[in-house]
A and B are shown apart, each in its own frame.
Chain A
Amino acid sequence: MAENYDVVIIGAGSVGVPIAYYLAQEKMKVLVIDRHPSPGQGQNKSAIGGVRATHSDPAKILLCEESIHIFSAWQEETGDAVGWKQGGYCFPVYREEEERTLQEILPFQKKYGLHTGWVRPEEIREIVPGINIEGLRGGIYSPEDGQVSPVLFMNSLYEAAKREGCSFRFSETVTGIRVEHDRISKVSTDKASYNTPVVVNAAGAYAKEVGTYTGLRVAVDPESHEAGISSPVEHFLSPMVVDMRPGTNGKTSNFYFTQVAEGPVIFCYTPAPPIKGTNRDSSSEFLPILADRLISLLPRCKNLLIRRTWRGLYPMTPDGYPICGKVNEIAGMYLAAGMCGQGFMIGPGLGKNMAALIVHGAPLIPGDVFDTIGYYRNFEGPDKEALT
């Protein structure tokens, strides 16, 4: 006999687990299925944990504001330390191009109530002590953004979801979704089948594959980014620093790093051109390129001891925005996919909204804003994500 659930979520990661948690709070009977042996073993553990509302579109601004609210209150609510650090985000600017991009989105962020503002070079030197000041034009700083440990938050959220009654099946891969009379009826895996009227595709890098089980074209194609972490040092750096310039070696675009609550410096860059596919091997070029960028921006970092590197997947969409919400043609089919590397910061806010959408038929943020990251938008439109 197949077990019955109100909702089956495919993917126990940064997106699936918060949706499960908020659904369970609404008294839904929830099952989460993941191909990995434990929660967060897809991309959650690869995330460097930056959390910002400083985005260039309303949906992500509103969802991430909610996430920041959740992260910052989490320890008080659950008693679990998750390494939340409200050190802000700082985008130092050295070139006219980046200045123009950032100045253009500032009014928009102010409109949504963010305290993000332009800061002068002297202020940047206060915010990022020791930063290379040669050619520094200023930058933007958003004091309310922060950083949190993806793995600690995931573990705490997973335990909380279980306490709320969620069921989890690990090392189990979904092999099919049955649709009867245009309604979801069953999810099959390599081990069992589950009856359910609702399925959420939160399969991260595998969302496209899961989409095909109901004949949907979910335009998510993973790209990979490498990241690394140093051994801990005494506190010296508060914000997440984002350098938007292309690297001088021609192999990178954005580059970002911060010091996490326990003391290590964590860092990552965006490869240019993008590296498509699901390969997660560590490359020989990552640390040399990273070291050059980090040391030339913040020379003091040269004495960090590099402890570990890894490679994670960014489930990318054609326009750089997530694909979330309801699928009209199949009753009970929902998408929470294509986070483009921001699943961890969007996850909690999105989870709350998805739960509201599934249970009450409408998200918490305005419906028209939520639709801008919906399945039916024009992916080929002019609005590409500016702050990736």
Chain B
Amino acid sequence: MARIEEHPILDIPKKRKVRFTFEGRPMEGLEGEMVSSALIANGEDTFGSHQKDGAPQGMYCSNGQCSQCLVIADGFPVKGCMTPVREGMDVRGCKGKPKLPEEAIVQRGNAVETIETECLIIGGGPAGLSAALELGKQGVETVLIDDKYRLGGKLTLQTHVFFGSTDACYAGSRGIDIAERLTTEVSTYDAIDIRLATSAVGVFPDGKVGIVTDGTYYFIKPEILLVASGAREKALAFPGCDLPGVYGAGAFQTLVNRDLVKASERLFVCGGGNVGLITAYHALQAGIQVTGLAEALSVCGGYKVHADKIISAGIPVYTSHTILTAYGKERVEGLSIAEVDASFTPVKGTEKRFSVDTILIAVGLTPIDELYRQARTYGFEVFAAGDAEEISEASAAMFSGRIAGKNIVRRLTGAKLFAEMAPAEKLPEEAGEKELMEALRSKPGAINDVEQTVLPGKVYPVIRCKQEIPCDPCAAICPKGAITLDGDPLLGIPRFTGKECSNCGRCVLICPGLAISLVDERFDPDQREALITLPFEYTGNMLQPGREVVTLASDGTTTGKGIIEGVRSGGKAKRLLVSVRVPFEERLTAAGIRMQDPESAGMQFAVEDNDETIICRCERITKGEIVAMIRKGCRDLNQIKAALRTGMGACGGKTCEELILRLFAAEGVDPKSVTPFVKRPPLTEVPLKLFAGVE
């Protein structure tokens, strides 16, 4: 059983075991667990085979957006990632087309019910919850729906400490704890009607929103609609990208952090944005070997402190590299990457090959905004917040949700929206909201080498945070007021003023980037050694005092060896403070403890990108087929859809649209000149019986 039995951040809850069978073989799942997670926990990555060519199919999005995890549960085809496993469930792989169960009894169902409400919020993640709080406070009658079985959205996967503003969006707290707080608070408001495992599948011109929940279809007709449905992960096309074991970083976080399934032994991450960097960190925390991370740009696009954190734990980061191929028959067995030149073309002779069981794709997010756009064309009073409005960090999503909530209250009471108000009309606390929103959404800025203040013979913090990012907890928490942000109060780079340091370790415990350590020069007056205090968020088994560890610098180079002197608990912070004795000259550079042994890549022949690469995974349409149409002059995605079936599959083009547009760009056609897919309801597949109201 591949389950996570120990985790530095997450508690391992005791759950009731559920017995089910897969292909007749007995298996054990946990109560409330989704079928796909239960299967992976039982070592089953390949769920079925595709009807067109028999290609192996497994979990991909883990978010109900695609249909690759389709299984037959008790005779009915269902999405494995959205269906909880039940005692005695007979799960079968979906091999080819499912058989439609026979049914002899003629049933007449009930008419579809319509519920009217002041506000409907689609999505109970950071944005939706934050908006709901504002509406709850004002007693606005609100229905809050979420397609998962608990509130919090992606916050429930975010085990790391948040950046952002301490005052405005809980910076310095972990995502999972913020989810808990917001959920608890929202639940106190009677005006908020929370409906879980409930999806919006379409909006209609008569102002109704089609809602699907366990076994029922109904309409909600809101006065105001807020779409806070988050984002979906972008795909990447390369030979083998369709193998089970290649999936999104978010899908991985769901498996590991939500369901505590040890989904992999060895993995590789593609993409050095925040999502990729954090996911690599989460994998390491779950005891999974991270063979490497590749980023096509010359520097990682995510926060530098996130990159430094994994590099100084021993994860190799390959910048200016791209994935060439995933290998494997029934599932992923390995991959090859290569260096890219300035035009992102792989350079021959630089190929590297790794044996891994999982490849995570973290190449960006796309707003899930179909319902928002459709509602706008139908004249709904509609707002969007969070990633559905603009892709950014969860801290920005919470803040944008709050603004949307306030705006909805204003709209319902006939007041002006923020955007319509003159500066003088705003209350003082409202005046800076736009600027704060912009700061929270800002991309990581310039890197400035702030000079490190050293207090000879004393204790002082070493701050390795040298990039403008929206974050302030260190300055907010220092009891001596000795850490200041130079320049902007949120984006400024933190600096130790040299005033004094009491060795309290609060800055080390709270820094979301784990970029602060303490140096104690009092340890050895002869200056042969120094005691450094490092933050540590892995399982603590290795931290016995007296044990030798390898220390790494932020850039991954080995600084030397140290001896563990002691470990302090961080209490609620769930972060340990590890004191390590290091040679005096290494005291400022030692940034982390190496958590995994270095691995060298094999240099081998790699398969180049080719026409067989699967672009549309629902209908298994290849790059070659699509490029041939582009070369014949096609400039309409709907024509490609009509001729090849791209976008006719279960996901409706959600996965392949961007990939196809990239093929147009590669052929020298401006993607803006290409007619996009016409989007049609329902947003996800719905059993017909729900519309008829029959069992």
Q: Interface of A with B (CB < 8 Å)?
A: 36-41, 45, 130, 132, 134, 151-152, 154-155, 170, 230-234, 236, 263, 281-284, 287-288, 290-292, 294-296, 299-310
Asked if B692 and A304 make an inter-chain contact with CB atoms under 8 angstroms apart, the answer reads no
In the complex, given contacts A170-B636, A308-B652, what are 7 additional A-B residue pairs having Cβ atoms less than 8 angstroms apart?
A: A37-B636, A130-B102, A291-B109, A295-B689, A299-B105, A305-B688, A307-B682
B108 on the interface (CB 8 Å rule)?
A: yes
Q: Is the Cβ of B691 less than 8 Å from the Cβ of A306? A: yes
Chain A nearest CB: distance from B678 CB in Å?
8
CA distance A39 to B104 in the complex (A): 43
Known: A37-B635, A263-B51. A300 touches B103 (CB 8 A): yes
What B residues does A299 contact at CB under 8 A? 103-107
**Residue in A37, A282, A291 with the greatest tally of chain B CB atoms within 10 Å:** A291
28 contacts between A and B (CB under 8 A): A37-B638, A37-B675, A38-B636, A38-B639, A38-B675, A45-B638, A151-B643, A232-B51, A236-B99, A281-B204, A281-B378, A282-B680, A284-B202, A284-B219, A287-B688, A290-B691, A291-B688, A295-B109, A302-B689, A302-B694, A303-B101, A303-B688, A303-B689, A304-B100, A305-B685, A306-B691, A308-B680, A310-B680
Stretch at the interface among B126-134, B205-213, B241-249, B292-300: B205-213
Which residues of B have CB within 8 Å of A281?
A: 204-205, 378
- List of A residues within 8 angstroms of B642 by Cβ: 38, 40, 45, 151-152, 154-155
Is A233 within 8 A of B106, CB to CB? Answer: no
User: CB of B687 within 8 A of chain A?
Assistant: yes
Task: Tell me the bound Cα distance from A292 to B111 in angstroms.
Answer: 9
1/0 per position for B668-695, CB-CB distance to A under 8 A? 0000000100001110011111111110
**Contact assessment for B106 and A296 in the assembled complex, using a CB-CB cutoff below 8 Å:** yes
Give the CA-CA distance A132 to B636 in the complex, in Å: 43
Asked if A291 and B691 sit within 8 Å, CB to CB, the answer is yes
Interface residues of A, dominant DSSP: mixed
User: Is the CB of B76 closer than 8 A to any CB of chain A?
Assistant: yes
B334 at the interface (CB under 8 A from A): no
Residues of B within 8 A of A37 (CB): 635-636, 638-639, 675
- B107 contacts A288, CB within 8 Å? no
| Chain B residues, CB < 8 A from A309 | 680-682
Given A155-B639, A233-B98, A308-B652; A303-B682 close (CB under 8 Å): no
User: Roughly how many angstroms separate A152 CA and B641 CA in the complex, as a whole number?
Assistant: 10
A130 touches B638 (CB 8 A): no
Return chain A residues, CB-CB under 8 Å to B210: 284, 287
Q: Which residue of B lies closest to A304 (CB)?
A: B688
Distance to closest chain B CB from A275 (angstroms): 12
B513: chain A residues at CB < 8 Å are none
Instruction: For the complex, give the distance between the alpha carbons of A179 and B368 in Å.
Output: 52
Contact call B204/A132, Cβ cutoff below 8 A:
no
Residue B77 at the chain A interface, CB threshold 8 Å: yes
Asked if B687 contacts A38 (CB within 8 A), the reply is: no
| A37-B635, A305-B687, A309-B681 as given contacts; A288 in contact with B77, CB under 8 Å | no
Q: Is the CB of A305 within 8 A of B686?
A: yes
A129: shortest Cβ distance to chain B, in Å?
Answer: 9
Question: Do A307 and B650 form a contact, CB below 8 Å, given A45-B638, A151-B643, A155-B642?
Answer: yes
Contact residue among B104, B634, B675, B681 (Cβ-Cβ distance under 8 Å from A282) = B681
List chain B residues, Cβ under 8 A from A130.
102-104
Give the residue of A232, A303, A306 whose beta carbon is less than 8 angstroms from that of B103.
A303
Contact between B686 and A303 (Cβ–Cβ < 8 Å)?
Answer: no
Chain B residues with CB below 8 A from A236, complex form: 99-100
B635 touches A38 (CB 8 A): yes
Residues of B within 8 A of A151 (CB): 641-643
Query: Is there a chain A Cβ closer than 8 Å to B97's Cβ?
Result: yes
CB distance from A353 to the nearest CB of B (A): 26
Number of A-B contacts (CB under 8 A): 159
| B112 close to A (CB within 8 Å) | yes
In the bound complex, residues from chain B placing their C-beta under 8 Å from that of A290 are: 691
Contact of B106 among A36, A45, A134, A303 (CB under 8 A): A134
* Cα-based distance from A213 to B641 in the complex (angstroms): 33
Rounded to whole Å, the gap between the CB of A71 and the closest CB of chain B is 17
Instruction: Find out whether the CB atom of A283 lies under 8 angstroms from the CB atom of B688.
Output: no
Cβ-closest chain B residue relative to A281: B205
Most buried by A among B96, B102, B638, B691: B691
Instruction: Assess whether B688 is in contact with A233, with CB atoms less than 8 Å apart.
Output: no
Neighbouring B residues of A263 by C-beta, 8 Å? 51, 97
Q: How far is the CA of A118 from the CA of B281 in the complex (A)?
A: 71
Distance in angstroms between the alpha carbons of A283 and B204 in the assembled complex: 6
Q: In the assembled complex, which residues on chain A have CB atoms less than 8 Å from the CB atom of B104?
A: 130, 299
* B689 & A231 in contact (Cβ 8 Å cutoff): no
Please report the C-alpha to C-alpha distance between residue A350 and residue B334 in the assembled complex, in whole angstroms. 57
Bound CA–CA A166/B109 (angstroms): 52
A295 to B652, CA, bound (A): 25
**Are A132's CB and B634's CB within 8 A?**
no
Q: Is the CB of B638 within 8 A of A41?
A: yes
Q: Whole-angstrom distance from the CB of A381 to the nearest CB of chain B?
A: 37
Q: How far is the CB of B686 from chain A (nearest CB, A)?
A: 5
**Smallest distance from the beta carbon of A169 to chain B beta carbons, Å?**
12
Q: Nearest Cβ in chain A — how far from B645, in angstroms?
A: 8
Q: Is the CB of B685 within 8 A of A39?
A: no
Complex: A232 Cα to B106 Cα, angstroms: 23
Give the CA-CA distance A236 to B635 in the complex, in Å. 37
**How many angstroms between the C-alpha atoms of A310 and B642 in the bound complex?**
14
Give the distance to chain A from B538, nearest Cβ to Cβ, in Å. 43
Known: A234-B100, A288-B112, A295-B694. A303 touches B687 (CB 8 A): yes
Across the A-B interface, the 8 shortest Cβ-Cβ residue pairs: A38-B639, A151-B642, A291-B691, A291-B692, A284-B204, A302-B689, A38-B636, A155-B643
For B97, B98, B688, the residue with the greatest tally of chain A CB atoms inside 10 Å of its CB is B688
Contacts of B96 in A (CB 8 A): 234
Cβ contacts under 8 Å, B650 to chain A: 231, 307
A41 engages B692 (CB within 8 Å): no
A151 to chain B, nearest CB (A): 4
- Cβ-defined contact, A306 with B686, below 8 A: yes
Among the interface residues B108, B111, B689, which one has the most CB atoms of the partner chain A within 10 A? B689
What distance in Å separates the Cβ of A144 from its nearest Cβ neighbour in chain B?
Answer: 26
What residues of chain A lie closer than 8 Å to B105, measured between beta carbons?
299
Task: Note all chain A residues with C-beta closer than 8 A to B206.
Answer: 283-284
Cβ contact within 8 Å between A292 and B109? yes
Q: Is A302's CB under 8 angstroms from B107's CB?
A: yes
Contact A292 B108, CB 8 Å, known A230-B688, A232-B97, A282-B681: yes
Alpha-carbon distance A371/B657, docked complex (angstroms): 47
Residues of A close to B97: CB separation below 8 A = 232-234, 263
Minimal beta-carbon separation of B305 from chain A (angstroms): 44
**Shortest distance between the CB of B98 and any CB in chain A (Å):** 6
Q: Considering the chains assembled together, what is the distance between the CA atoms of A303 and B685 in angstroms?
A: 11
- Cβ A283 vs Cβ B205 within 8 A: yes
Q: Determine whether the beta carbon of A38 is less than 8 Å from that of B638.
A: yes
Q: In whole angstroms, how far apart are the Cα atoms of A85 and B673 in the complex? A: 37
Cross-chain contact A233 with B204 (CB below 8 angstroms) = no
Q: How many angstroms from the CA of A307 to the CA of B96 in the assembled complex? A: 17
Min C-beta distance of B180 to chain A, whole Å: 35
**Min CB–CB distance B498 → chain A (angstroms):** 65
> Could you say which residues of chain A place their CB within 8 Å of the CB of B639?
37-41, 155
Cα distance A10–B101 when bound, in Å? 47
Whole-angstrom CA separation of A3 from B275 in the bound complex = 56
Q: Write out, one digit per residue, whether chain B residues 77-119 have a CB within 8 A of any chain A CB (1) or not (0).
A: 1000000000000000000111111111111110110000000
- Cβ–Cβ < 8 Å partners of B635 in chain A: 37-38
Q: Which of A284, A300, A305, A307 contacts B208 (CB 8 A)?
A: A284
